[in-house]
Amino acid sequence: MHPLRRLYPELQIQCNTSEVEVEDIMVNMIIDGKNVTAKKGTMLLEAIRNAGISVPTLCVHEAVSRSGACRLCVVEIQKGSRTRIVTSCLYGVEEGLIVNTQSTRVLNVRRLVLELLLARCPESDVLQKMARDLGIEKEPRYTVDTDKGKCILCRSCVRVCEEVVGVSAIGLFSRGSYKKVGTPYNEPSDVCIGCGACVYVCPTGHIEMTSTGDKRKIWGRTFKMQACSKCGKHFAPIDQLKFISTKTGTTMEELSVCTECR
Amino acid sequence: MIENPDTQARQILDNLTLYYGPKKKFVAICAGTGCRASGSVQVKEAFEAEFKKQNMDVDVLATGCLGFCEKGPMVIIHPDKYFYEHVKVEDVPEIISKTIAKGEVISRLLYRHPDTQKALFREDDLPFYKKQHRVVFGRNGMIDPSRIEDYFAIDGYQALAKVLGEMTPDAVISEVKKAGLRGRGGGGFHAAVKWEGVRKAHGDPKYVIANGDEGDPGAYMDRSLMEGNPHSVIEGMIIGAYAVGAHEGYIYVRNEYPLAVEHLTMAIEAAREKGLLGKNILGTDFSFDIHINKGAGAFVCGESSALFASIEGRAGEPRAKYVHAVEKGLYDKPTVLNNVETWANVPLIINKGADWYASIGTEGSKGTKIFSLVGKINNTGLIEVPMGTTLYEIIYDMGGGIPNGRKFKAVQTGGPSGGCIPERLLDIPVDFDKLYDVGSMMGSGGMIVMDDTSCMVDVARYFLEFLKEESCGKCVPCREGIRRMSDILEDICAGHGREGDIDILERMGAAIADGSLCALGGSAPNPVLSTIRYFRDEYEAHIRDHRCPAGVCKALITYSINTEKCTGCGVCLKACAVNAITGEKKKAHIIDSEKCTRCGACIQSCKFNAIQVK
């Protein structure tokens, strides 16, 4: 089962990974010297990973559409005599493509991106581990930020809220280095249902959600939790269940039983 | 020019334009934004009032920008084309009684050659205009942009009649292809290739868009075209729409250009009224209309995919463009997006023919290009020259060289993410490819001239600061990288540069260019990389010697008084706001560098050039 289904048992989760229709035609490529075949319409990133080659990513999440924001997945491709850097998570596979995932240019971009993110989010253990795995150290020339938390602005939270949950309680505001994720005007959101899907997709654990007893706190709002009518466990915000009820027509009574007791 | 005058489209246009021939006697007053700021509207009204009072039948034309903004308000008396500069309301009665009534020239209002001080009479005699080739921009001076009739009088919409009456869409595309028209917005992509792509693309509806989101500091050629000759842009778009099979178009224009918005709105309404926009244009079965979309001033919205997002009502953020706009552009439909100036070239190509157009310019870059010439240059303004004109000709012949006898240092082309070109490369012919070869770019045509009082590290710092603010913030290399490069440049200018900073800037620059999602980040390191390439010694002087050779970076300079030149007059002492200057009357003064804030007030106050900056 898709992990988000557990949060939304009644909703259809659409996994949006490609804008192009997947066709039953296979294409041949050479990736890091290996011959690789892939289905036309799929993305280069999947072809590379299927070939057993690892590519780091932070903004790719199976539940949401891809933005190409983190730039870690870039690879160098060669078509004819022309080589260029492309975003493998968004670049469709092509017949005859020669792909290099370890070229100097690729490694320089990866190194830069991780150095920049380490300076932005010095507390992030996820970034530190990824940097260690890739042999990248923090760049001492940058003064580390103290006000960004662990948010790398991958926008997975914004997309899950819009595309999967369908409420758009959070969004991106401001521009450039002032860009932030949050609710409108940083005020508690009326449309947020407290579901925590944003917490679930966040790759660095930036978004804070605390659940104690019959209360859950997220994005500056406190939600009352529903107690399971069978086992009595507080399992979901009442607002979330009401939302699902309106969307699916399932009665609140039915929804008041937690997934384990159903 | 008219090969087949009998088509229905031509007949309808002829009926529309029957009464509008070129005028003979008229007064043209530049009413572009620059000249308006220096009072040209008042001058125009004074002319109108005076003509009325004297019962004279002379037309007064408030034209679009004439380009020589340094000399505004400008008045040109036709048919002799006498050129008067800095005209004031008080000058109007004399101009009418002498020049218009008797043909006498008023010497004090004439332009004087800066070297010989000789007065020059006519517009075409001025060195600024003489070497230009103003096929697109020169028409600004013949029309009042708020009147469609004026555009008719200069063969307006003749190209459209020709296209609709006599040419197939494919013939239009092949004519534009033969002309070799490349996009004027920066990329230099062949316009006909885009058009062909959209014509062949599946998807309905198709869109044509004019990109008027000109955001480069100091650049205003698109603004001057939209303000000064809006119908030329609209006519170009209708022709393009016919060629690709589009029925809907947008002009994306910055809301900071109120006059452009006003004139475009008037022009679209007038064209609709005359049946040149809307259903069944010129009696044919081709229909097309244009909407104006006002941008809120984000630099990144000039990028195609961010521009589409903005029109669609979303935040102006680019996306990866592996599926091109010709297939999936605005609302994911096939879209032609061309720059304002590109569209304005289209009617000319149709009217005068591809061979004529291709005869102007260089092998790879055809036609003319409008540049805005600003910074440390005598003749600030807009110029239009054939592609391939050298930077030297632009800066010295048309631009009149560097003011105050200072020395040329560099010219920044291509806007904030262009590069700085040094003196030894001034002989390169300006076209898309040559500028790229030397580490800069054509961009939309901004040129900022710098003299020896400009510090190249400070220039790079300024542009990175601008780009840091204008990055949309979507991808990491651009959002975080430009900010870090900007921090390092701040440090260097503040005297905190470290050994190894040049290397890290170069490394970051290459990776940001490679790793960014769109062209903003892709070209943002250019100002840094090109100044390091050509002015590395200045960076080294800042970092190693804590010295700013140009005397700009405040933390690295000291003010002192040349005791031989100082007369002890005491003026600087009074001018200094922080009491850093001391000294007895008639004896040389001293500056306390601890107290001095390097504000420059003393330099401005000293009549004896006694203040030194080191």
Q: Is the pLDDT reported for residue B464 higher than 50?
A: yes
Residue A260 within any structural domain of the chain: no
Q: Establish if A140 belongs to a structural domain.
A: no
Average pLDDT of every residue of chain B: 92
B395 and B486 share one domain: no
Instruction: Identify which of B399, B329, B327 has the alpha carbon closest to the alpha carbon of residue B67.
Output: B399
Q: How many helices (H) and strands (E) does chain B have?
A: 26, 19
Average pLDDT value for residue range A203-224: 94
Cβ contact B475–A69 (<8 Å): yes
Same domain, A98 and A187: no
Contacts of A116 in chain B (CB under 8 A): 476-477, 480-481, 484
Q: Are residues A245 and A166 in the same domain?
A: yes
User: Given an 8 Å threshold on Cβ–Cβ distance, is A91 in contact with B320?
Assistant: yes
A176–B469: do the CB atoms touch at under 8 Å?
A: yes
B445 vs B243, more confident: B243
pLDDT at B55 over 70: yes
Q: Do both B301 and B407 map to the same domain?
A: no
With 0-12 / 13-18 / 19 or more C-beta atoms within 10 angstroms meaning exposed / middle / buried, residue B307 is buried
Residue B132 forms part of a structural domain: no
B270 pLDDT more than 60: yes
Whether B50 maps to a domain, the answer reads: yes
Q: Does A49 touch chain B (CB under 8 A)?
A: no
Q: What does pTM read for this prediction?
A: 0.91
- CB distance B519 to B215 below 8 Å: no
B480-510 pLDDT per residue, tens: 999 999 999 999 999 999 999 999 999 999 9
B344 found inside a domain: yes
C-alpha span between B590 and B578 (Å, rounded): 14
A92 neighbourhood in chain B, CB within 8 Å = 322
Specify the DSSP class assigned to residue A188.
Answer: P
B189: in domain: yes
- For residue B261, pLDDT over 90 is answered with yes
Residue with tokens 């043209």: B28
Do both A161 and A248 map to the same domain? Answer: yes
Does residue A247 belong to any structural domain of this protein? yes
Find how far residue A16's CA is from the centre of its chain.
12
Would A63 be classed as within a structural domain?
yes
Provide residues of B within 8 Å CB-CB of chain A: 298, 300, 315, 319-320, 322-323, 468-477, 479-484, 487-488, 498, 500-501, 504, 507-508, 510-512, 514-517
Identify whether residues B197 and B331 lie together within a single domain: yes
Identify whether residues B322 and B194 lie together within a single domain: yes
Question: Is position B301 within any domain?
Answer: yes
For residue B477, the chain A residues in CB contact (below 8 A) are 71, 109, 112-113, 116
**Is residue A19, in this structure, part of any structural domain at all?**
no
Strand order in the sheet with B59-63: B59-63, B26-30, B75-78, B82-84
Interface subset of A 127-166, CB within 8 angstroms of B: 139, 141-143, 152-153, 155
Place of tokens 């190509």: B349
pLDDT at A21 over 60: yes
Report the residue of A88, A121, A141, A174 to disrupt the B interface, i.e. the one with the largest count of B CBs within 10 Å: A141
Task: Please check whether residues B349 and B209 belong to one and the same domain.
Answer: yes
B5 in a domain, yes or no? Answer: no
Q: Does residue B428 fall inside a structural domain?
A: yes
Our count of domains for chain A comes to 2
Residue A65 is assigned to a structural domain of this protein? yes
Domain end position, chosen among B421, B451, B481: B451
Closest CA to B488 of B515, B507, B471: B507
Provide ipTM, 2 decimals.
Answer: 0.91
Q: Which of B483, B504, B511 sits opposite A177 (nearest CB)?
A: B483
Say which of A113, A155, A176 has its CB closest to residue B471: A176
Q: Which of B19-23, B153-157, B226-230, B243-247 has the lowest mean pLDDT?
A: B19-23
Q: Which residue has the higher pLDDT, A178 or B24?
A: A178
Give the CATH number of the domain where residue A50 resides: 3.10.20.740
When CB atoms are compared, the residue of A108, A142, A176 closest to B510 is A108
Mean pLDDT lowest for which of A184-188, A191-195, B196-200, B213-217?
A: B213-217
Same domain for B186 and B277, yes or no, is yes
User: A170 with A86, same domain?
Assistant: no
State the Cα–Cα distance between residues A112 and B481, nearest whole angstrom.
Answer: 8
Query: pLDDT tens for residues A108-127?
Result: 999 999 999 999 999 999 99
**Which of A239, A57, A181 shows the shortest CA–CA distance to B315?**
A181
User: Are B413 and B536 contained in the same domain?
Assistant: no
Looking at residue B522, which CATH number applies to its domain? 1.20.1440.230
Mean pLDDT score, A69-90: 95
Query: What one-character-per-residue DSSP string does B169-201 give?
Result: HHHHHHHHHHHT-B-TTTT--BHHHHHHHHHHS
Give me the number of domains chain B comprises.
Answer: 5
**B263 and B335: one domain?**
yes
What is the chain B residue with the closest CA to A116?
Answer: B480
Distance in angstroms (rounded) separating the CA atoms of residues B263 and B281? 21
Residue B166 tokens read as 């006599």
Among B451, B482, B498, give the residue marking a domain's end: B451
pLDDT for B10 equals 85
Which pLDDT does position B1 carry in this prediction?
Answer: 42
B-chain CB neighbours of A172 within 8 Å are 315, 473
Residue B441 pLDDT greater than 90, yes or no: no
What is the pLDDT, as a whole number, of residue B25? Answer: 82
| Alpha-carbon distance A155 to nearest alpha carbon in chain B (angstroms) | 9
Looking at the fold, whether B397 and B341 belong to one and the same domain comes out as: no
Mean per-residue pLDDT, A203-208? 96
Closest CB from B471, B475, B507 relative to A71: B475
CATH assignment of the domain containing B44? 3.40.30.10
* Half-sphere exposure at residue B263, Cβ-oriented, CA atoms within 13 angstroms: 32
Q: Is A104 on the interface with B (CB under 8 A)?
A: no
Q: What is the pLDDT, as a whole number, of residue B22?
A: 63
Q: For the segment B286-299, what is each residue's pLDDT rounded down to a tens digit?
A: 999 999 999 988 89
The CATH code of the domain that includes B589 is: 3.30.70.20
Residues A81 and A159 occupy one common structural domain: no
Domain termination residue (choose one: B358, B385, B417): B358
Final residue before a domain boundary, out of A71, A102, A133: A102
| The pLDDT of residue A17 | 44
Query: Does residue B372 share a domain with residue B354?
Result: no
Task: Domain of residue A226: give its range.
Answer: 155-255
| Residue A141 located in a structural domain | no
In this structure, are B512 and B583 located in the same domain? no
| Partners of residue B543 in chain A, C-beta under 8 Å | none
pLDDT tens per residue across span B78-105: 888 899 999 999 999 999 999 998 889 9
B296 lies in the same domain as B208? yes
Q: Does B6 reside within a domain?
A: no
DSSP-derived secondary structure for B473-492 = S-SHIIIIIHHHHHHHHHHH
Tell whether A107 is covered by a domain.
Answer: no
Per the structure, the complete domain to which residue B442 belongs is given by 368-451
